[in-house]
């Protein structure tokens, strides 16, 4: 399960942190935010467990920054998704782009189609398609996700589908399809106080 919360130290022994400690906490929070941004676009093979229980790889399908620097992006048109008007954007690897490292090899093995809301500028739907041979799924495998604003507050994935054709061994190439639908979201708030007693 992805961790959705972050704890930041803002005071100690009832007193605000000094400038030096505050700077350390701010830096830690920025690093964590950057790591989580990268993780959002990482596919974990564990969700293919039913098809292949011993197979647990991970592969990056690219961050927003990757889409800007490694892909050609073009506007295809407009479409309504879940009752909202969207722009359709297609992202394909730049022609002749040579991957600089393993990360880029994986990222450039995909093409992407995004449906971006015209009013709130949030991605309502994505379709990621394997087009290269540098990942464990064969070309033509697709990952589709749809998002909705829950209770007028947070954008969350409400529907996902995966069509996969694996290629991790010469004679073992299972294929399959998985569909997921999330509902009954609940909002909760947790507050905590940590008191540190002086050493005796």
Q: Give pLDDT tens digits for 3-35.
A: 445 567 777 777 788 888 888 888 887 887 777
Q: What is the mean pLDDT of residues 83-105?
A: 92
**Which contacts of 1-9 are long-range, i.e. CB under 8 A and separated by 24 or more positions?**
2/39, 3/36, 5/190, 6/32, 6/33
Identify the pLDDT of residue 1: 32
Identify the pLDDT of residue 88: 96
Identify the pLDDT of residue 129: 93
Task: Give 116 or 134, the one with higher predicted confidence.
Answer: 116
Task: Give 166 or 104, the one with higher predicted confidence.
Answer: 104
Identify the pLDDT of residue 164: 77
Assess whether pLDDT exceeds 50 at residue 95.
yes
Task: Give 156 or 34, the one with higher predicted confidence.
Answer: 156
**Which contacts of 119-127 are long-range, i.e. CB under 8 A and separated by 24 or more positions?**
119/84, 119/85, 120/149, 122/147, 122/149, 122/155, 123/147, 124/81, 124/82, 124/84, 124/86, 124/148, 125/81, 125/86
Q: Are 115 and 91 in contact (CB under 8 A)?
A: no
Assess whether pLDDT exceeds 80 at residue 93.
yes
Nearest CA to 93 among 69, 77, 117? 69
Average model confidence (pLDDT) across the chain: 77
Identify the pLDDT of residue 13: 73
Identify the pLDDT of residue 136: 75
**Per-residue pLDDT band at 113 (split at 50, 70, 90):** very high
């Amino acid at each position: 399960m992805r961790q959705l919360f972050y704890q930041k130290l803002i005071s100690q022994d009832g007193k605000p942190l000094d400038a030096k400690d505050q700077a350390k906490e701010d830096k830690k929070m920025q690093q964590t935010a950057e790591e989580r941004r990268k993780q959002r676009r990482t596919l974990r093979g564990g969700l293919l467990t039913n098809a292949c229980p011993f197979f647990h790889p991970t592969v990056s399908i690219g961050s927003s920054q990757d889409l800007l620097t490694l892909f050609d992006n073009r506007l295809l048109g407009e479409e309504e998704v879940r009752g909202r008007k969207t722009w359709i954007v297609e992202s394909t690897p730049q022609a002749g782009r040579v991957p600089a490292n393993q990360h880029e090899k994986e990222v450039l093995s995909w093409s992407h189609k995004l449906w971006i809301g015209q009013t709130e500028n949030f991605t309502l739907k994505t379709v990621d398609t394997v087009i290269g041979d540098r990942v464990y799924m064969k070309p033509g495998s697709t990952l589709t996700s749809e998002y909705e604003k829950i209770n007028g507050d947070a954008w969350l994935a409400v529907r996902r589908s995966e069509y996969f054709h694996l290629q991790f061994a010469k004679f073992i190439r299972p294929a399959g399809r998985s569909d997921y639908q999330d509902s009954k979201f609940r909002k909760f708030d947790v507050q905590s106080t940590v008191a540190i007693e002086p050493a005796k």
